[in-house]
Structure formats: C-alpha cells, structure tokens
Structure 1
C-alpha cells in the first residue's frame, strides 16, 4: 500500500510539472507572437500634395542700412568709424536709428 501511495504521488507530481511546462511554453509562444507582431514595419501615411509648401519671408525682419551713406558725408573722420567721438563734425547725421 505504501509503494502504491508513493508511486501515485510521483505520478501526480509529474503530471503537474508537465502541465506547468505546457502552460509556460504557451505563454512564451504568445509573447513571441506579440513581439513579432509589434516588429512588423508599418507604412507611413502619404503626405497631402494638394497645397505645395511655399516658404514665406517673415515680416518682422529689419533691413540694415548700408555704410555707403557714411562715405558720402562731409567729414571723413565720421566715415572711418569715429562718429561716436566726433559728433561735433557732422552733428547727429551719422547716428541715424535703424527703422
């Protein structure tokens, strides 16, 4: 009777182990299937070509004045870059603000 109880216990443990391995194998296969499904490359949506993109110049840019107007002045020292120190020569004409 004791030998029968021991063999049935080992048989039940073996069946449980096989069932757990089968369940673990099914879980791993499902995970692999989900990973392969996620790794499939997907196509990007086609862009709309109804309205072509035309870049516009921003309206906030400030055009810079050239330095040529300084060369035509009466005083040569103002045209060379010394207009901050020689304001008495040409007055405030050399320091026009940029609009």
Structure 2
C-alpha cells in the first residue's frame, strides 16, 4: 500500500509538472506571436520635397516674450526694509572676515 501511494504521488507530481510546462510553452508561443506581429515593417509615405512641411500653430495665444532679469532683490530680505544700523553692522562684518 505504501509503494502504491508513493508511486501515485510521483505520478501526480509528474502530471502537474507537465501541465505547468505546457502552460509556460503556450504563454511563450503567444508572446513570440505578438512580437512577430509588432515587428512587421510598415511602409511610410515619402516626404514631399517640393512642398516642405511647415507645422501650423495649434494655439491662438500670443508668443511668450522673455523679460529682462530683475536684480533689485538680491537677498531674500528687502534692502529697503533693513534699518541703517543693520546695514552698517552687515558691512562691518563683511569687511572684518578673516581670510583662511
């Protein structure tokens, strides 16, 4: 009885293994078929060399014009907001920094 149950178990494992391999083969064949379908070369129209293509604008909005950069606010703090004492202190600290 033991030998029979072991043989049955081995037989079922082999069947399961064959079924898994069969499913994997079907999946691979389908992937190969899809890749071959995608790789078919498609003919493209020749460009008209006598009439070059000029793309049309889709939008009616006016073109963006670049502005000159503004260098008034150099620091994150507004220079006009800094008091005279703070400005004097800032200049003194900058002048007396030791050079390493």
TM-score range, shorter chain: 0.3 to 0.5
Q: Whose relative contact order is higher, 1 or 2, with alpha carbons under 8 Å and at least 6 apart?
A: 1
Q: State the TM-score, normalized to the length of structure 1.
A: 0.46
Q: What is the TM-score with the length of structure 2 in the denominator? A: 0.46
Larger radius of gyration: 1
